[in-house]
Structure 1
């Protein structure tokens, strides 16, 4: 396929150089037309990206989700035009008109790469460092699947992860966390190319960053190389070949580039980082490339034809892979069936057959009851895969007999993330993006603050990731206010597409895990108690299955309409259940609503929500040991909330709860005051 002005010829001595410059020209024209964007990185790193897509990566533009493909992660997402140019040029489902609509509302080419927007974009990047964590997660996924399914050296599961990162990526702590664990694990299927251009928005990197990155990665146990000139295609090719050949360690290739390469007045400066070049500078830059200055968005016929060879080559690669898989499936039919089922996210028959049922004699912390539910599922669903941020003795999320995922033991189901909450959650996103897993990670709820960037991106991409966060309130007790979450529940509930589930007793914890396994559009965060909570008597109350709708009537006074609705979640649910009995002794009619997930409840239709919270019953009291903001929607102007407006305290759990008013007597007192208004 040719451009509208394909008959124009370019003076050139080398087709490779013309193709590299095609990437650069599309970038500067798109940024100039949008009057917004980052052209500097694509101009500097175009040779690297060109080589990856045309010589080294296994990919099929006509089937971007082919399992056997190599994955490419542009961690430096601000350089998105580098990726969009490549996707267009190599034949993915992106047109030249899409390039022309860069950064425009509703376009397929938003300012940063969006996973859901364009085929061929493997992950949403933008917040720097996240792509490094995603790449590590993808590499872990590939290694685990290879360890589980590889037979007879088929080569079906040996795909690689390539990435480009920037100075800014490697300043971010999440990248350091992820790189550290990648080196520890010896993930030899990652090749990360570091754009060392010495420039950030504020100026030269020496303003804030003068470490020797290569020595740092040497200390992480990575294989490291240095390429002195990003325009040296021969040196780049040799380094990439070496990186691919190194299979026992992840590889970092430092590439010395010039940001905004080719711009006579802006290259090598922060002026080339995140602004259009300007009309005159665009003209001068194209002249430097020996490219026509008009029309914009011009790509020569022979350059486009060379790029489009990726289509035929990709189809041949996929066809060869499929033929291999057919042979593999004949010899290993059971394994092949498992593999295909997991890629389709098919839960095995009877996956929930052994979920526990708890009785009132079971007084358990929800972290314990949830752990038992997870264990029952993990026995049936092998692609449930995850670990903790060095807190398994508190979160209880390891898979019994699952084995450790460690260097040389990639068949294990229990990765150890270490004390790296942010890196852990970013890696979980990579596992989910790769496919073949329902990944989970665990820590304390207070430490979601460390991991918020990755949690938000999981929600933005609507990934099926499970975040298991225990120690969910001031009920933590002795550890004190540094470990007692206050504002976290409300702020997490505010994240679109993130489902927060705070079960009120052991059976609701089971329903939480049932939700996890069947909720495929977006992550689920389980907020679980450290302290024991009563298991409610379901013979006298609604079954816990009502929790699947987010909120439900668990108990109410029979024979007359309710005077007041008491709402609770988590460990405070039992308080409102017990308060109901005392209020009834005082002649009040009470409805108790369990609200384990406000996010799920708000997705129910209005008729159901009104059946649980009838508009006519305006006296409502919510009880939760956290910040109160999210509850105002449900209690209204005539309601009240018992919550937290300060930080917690250190002491025995029951004493701390009592100190802050989380007692049955206080619930009764506040309810009576509300009714007396």
Structure 2
């Protein structure tokens, strides 16, 4: 251990070793005194010795000569390595490979899959065609599903283990139990450019990463975060590990995209959309528990299929349209859901439509992407005329009033969780399809009452 004792503000004669030196300007008198201490003329400001200036200006010639030498070497490398040169050109142009779409996995409808498992399959499917993508976990790789299989670790070969072989070009990062450092390291890699890096941990531990996440958002760094175990759905680990306020607080960070896909196929499109963006950071929020994978079609009433995943990139889309007697009709009520709670909205829609209440389900994988869409698209998804709305998310309702409005209702979690299996927790805390159904009816009644009051007010006016 090397321990150094320092004096803040040294060698300012009067302000060194004081609190004032930390946050206030020296002032002209102290600047003059400091110049005397350092051997400068206190009467002169911004003085640069002519010899120093002349030497510095030679940098232009030295740089031009170095650039010419480098360019010749680079062109020789391009000629000898055309495939690597094409890869470098693509990466520097910030374009995804043409093979990416074909590499993205398509998950079988009807099969329950956790979105963390789906994310792991996506990473391993795109890894071979996206060599610039690398990353790892803060000691939770098996839980986060963040390992690109078959890839060496980014560790010295001399530090290889039986499980992990390392070399300077390894793609698997081992951050250790250092969530803040992991986020900071990924920021640094992203700032360096060319490659795309991600770090993984549980959503609850994003709290440790927050200063680095905020700075990445402030700087517009396209860092990627993989956050799993996204709600009380993680179960028996209990309230210390169950995120409640994290989704709302992360969405409050300007410039951060918070992406919570509603099934395995949404995960694939979410990853592609995040990789297409080079302007700001994004975090993908994933379930521990298995959730349904939907049969994708047109999303209309015919066959009652669900819409294609094309709308994921727009942040919110109509997953299932309102219908009556097998025909698409305007919605009486809109159910707005994210992540694992999309299945509750889908089940509630079945309940409501069985009672003759035309119900639209909107999946919202990313609020930030949805807000970037033009007004016409946002209106097509959430028509202003439909006042009866319910948001469904296993976290704070904070932020959802913007979308549900005065007559809307929210199925949410306004307190900490408990230690039990996820099915019991959702049932005990009222995050169920029956609760969504009841909230929809309550919202409908509230919307009718509000409309009647407006009508009476108009008549009296």
Counterpart contact for 2:110–2:295, Cα < 8 Å: no
Query: Which of residues 418, 426, 430 is equivalent to 1:661?
Result: 430
**Deviation (angstroms), 1:414:** 0.6
Q: Which residue of 1 aligns with 2:293?
A: 535
Tell me how far apart the structure 2 counterparts of residues 497 and 468 of structure 1 sit (CA, whole Å). 17
**Deviation (angstroms), 1:361:** 2.5
Call closer, same or farther: CA 1:477–1:258 in 2, change over 3 Å: closer
**Deviation (angstroms), 1:587:** 1.6
Q: Does 2:355 correspond to 1:586?
A: yes
Instruction: Provide, for residues 120-164 of structure 1, a one-character-per-residue CA deviation record: whole Å limited to 9, x for no partner.
Output: xxxxxxxxxxxxxxxxxxxxxxxxxxxxxxxxxxxxxxxxxxxxx
Tell me how far apart the structure 1 counterparts of residues 17 and 414 of structure 2 sit (CA, whole Å). 51
Q: Which residue of 1 aligns with 2:104?
A: 355
Tell me how far apart the structure 1 counterparts of residues 354 and 87 of structure 2 sit (CA, whole Å). 58
**Deviation (angstroms), 1:259:** 4.2
Q: Which residue of 1 aligns with 2:9?
A: 260
Q: Which residue of 2 aligns with 1:523?
A: 281
Q: Does 2:171 correspond to 1:413?
A: yes
Call closer, same or farther: CA 1:328–1:550 in 2, change over 3 Å: same
**Deviation (angstroms), 1:493:** 0.8
Instruction: Provide, for residues 533-557 of structure 1, a one-character-per-residue CA deviation record: whole Å limited to 9, x for no partner.
Output: 0111223121111111001111122
Tell me how far apart the structure 2 counterparts of residues 359 and 333 of structure 1 sit (CA, whole Å). 39
Query: What secondary structure sits across from 2:306 in the alignment?
Result: coil
Where does the alignment leave 5 or more consecutive residues of structure 1 unmatched? 1-211, 215-253
Tell me how far apart the structure 2 counterparts of residues 272 and 321 of structure 1 sit (CA, whole Å). 45
Task: Choose 554-563 or 368-377, whichever is displaced more.
Answer: 554-563
Tell me how far apart the structure 1 counterparts of residues 20 and 338 of structure 2 sit (CA, whole Å). 52
Q: Which residue of 2 aligns with 1:332?
A: 81
Counterpart contact for 1:421–1:448, Cα < 8 Å: yes
Q: Does 2:172 correspond to 1:385?
A: no
Q: Which residue of 2 aligns with 1:431?
A: 189
Tell me how far apart the structure 2 counterparts of residues 258 and 656 of structure 1 sit (CA, whole Å). 55
Where does the alignment leave 5 or more consecutive residues of structure 2 unmatched? 158-166, 298-304, 447-461
**Deviation (angstroms), 1:270:** 4.1
Q: Which residue of 1 aligns with 2:31?
A: 282
**Deviation (angstroms), 1:272:** 3.0
Call closer, same or farther: CA 1:426–1:663 in 2, change over 3 Å: same
Query: What secondary structure sits across from 2:361 in the alignment?
Result: strand
1:451-490 to structure 2, matched below 5 A, reads 451-490=209-248
Query: What secondary structure sits across from 1:379 in the alignment?
Result: helix
Q: Which residue of 2 aligns with 1:563?
A: 332
**Deviation (angstroms), 1:368:** 1.0
Counterpart contact for 1:565–1:621, Cα < 8 Å: yes
Q: Does 2:385 correspond to 1:627?
A: no
Counterpart contact for 1:422–1:454, Cα < 8 Å: yes
Task: Choose 359-368 or 542-551, whichever is displaced more.
Answer: 359-368
Q: Which residue of 2 aligns with 1:318?
A: 67
Q: Which residue of 1 aligns with 2:124?
A: 375
**Deviation (angstroms), 1:258:** 5.6
Tell me how far apart the structure 2 counterparts of residues 415 and 441 of structure 1 sit (CA, whole Å). 8
Query: What secondary structure sits across from 2:319 in the alignment?
Result: strand
Call closer, same or farther: CA 1:616–1:461 in 2, change over 3 Å: same
Q: Which residue of 2 aligns with 1:548?
A: 313
Instruction: Provide, for residues 556-614 of structure 1, a one-character-per-residue CA deviation record: whole Å limited to 9, x for no partner.
Output: 22343211111000000011011111101112111111111001001111111111111
Tell me how far apart the structure 2 counterparts of residues 672 and 333 of structure 1 sit (CA, whole Å). 64
Query: What secondary structure sits across from 1:630 in the alignment?
Result: coil
Tell me how far apart the structure 2 counterparts of residues 592 and 346 of structure 1 sit (CA, whole Å). 33
Q: Which residue of 2 aligns with 1:156?
A: none
Instruction: Provide, for residues 394-443 of structure 1, a one-character-per-residue CA deviation record: whole Å limited to 9, x for no partner.
Output: 11110111112111311211111111111111000111111221101111
**Deviation (angstroms), 1:262:** 4.3
1:69-80 to structure 2, matched below 5 A, reads none
Counterpart contact for 2:110–2:294, Cα < 8 Å: no
Instruction: Provide, for residues 165-209 of structure 1, a one-character-per-residue CA deviation record: whole Å limited to 9, x for no partner.
Output: xxxxxxxxxxxxxxxxxxxxxxxxxxxxxxxxxxxxxxxxxxxxx
1:114-129 to structure 2, matched below 5 A, reads none
Tell me how far apart the structure 1 counterparts of residues 320 and 332 of structure 2 sit (CA, whole Å). 14
Tell me how far apart the structure 1 counterparts of residues 372 and 294 of structure 2 sit (CA, whole Å). 26
**Deviation (angstroms), 1:352:** 2.3
Call closer, same or farther: CA 1:344–1:556 in 2, change over 3 Å: closer
**Deviation (angstroms), 1:291:** 2.9
Query: What secondary structure sits across from 1:472 in the alignment?
Result: coil
Call closer, same or farther: CA 1:636–1:500 in 2, change over 3 Å: same
Pairwise CA RMSD: 1.9
Counterpart contact for 1:265–1:281, Cα < 8 Å: yes
**Deviation (angstroms), 1:322:** 2.6
Query: What secondary structure sits across from 1:387 in the alignment?
Result: strand
Tell me how far apart the structure 2 counterparts of residues 484 and 259 of structure 1 sit (CA, whole Å). 43
Q: Does 2:444 correspond to 1:675?
A: yes
Instruction: Provide, for residues 72-122 of structure 1, a one-character-per-residue CA deviation record: whole Å limited to 9, x for no partner.
Output: xxxxxxxxxxxxxxxxxxxxxxxxxxxxxxxxxxxxxxxxxxxxxxxxxxx
Query: What secondary structure sits across from 1:526 in the alignment?
Result: strand
Query: Which of residues 405, 422, 442 is equivalent to 1:636?
Result: 405
Tell me how far apart the structure 1 counterparts of residues 88 and 7 of structure 2 sit (CA, whole Å). 44
What number of residue pairs does the alignment pair up? 426
Query: What secondary structure sits across from 1:443 in the alignment?
Result: strand
Tell me how far apart the structure 1 counterparts of residues 95 and 295 of structure 2 sit (CA, whole Å). 34
Query: What secondary structure sits across from 1:666 in the alignment?
Result: helix
Counterpart contact for 1:352–1:376, Cα < 8 Å: no
**Deviation (angstroms), 1:482:** 1.0
Tell me how far apart the structure 2 counterparts of residues 340 and 592 of structure 1 sit (CA, whole Å). 42
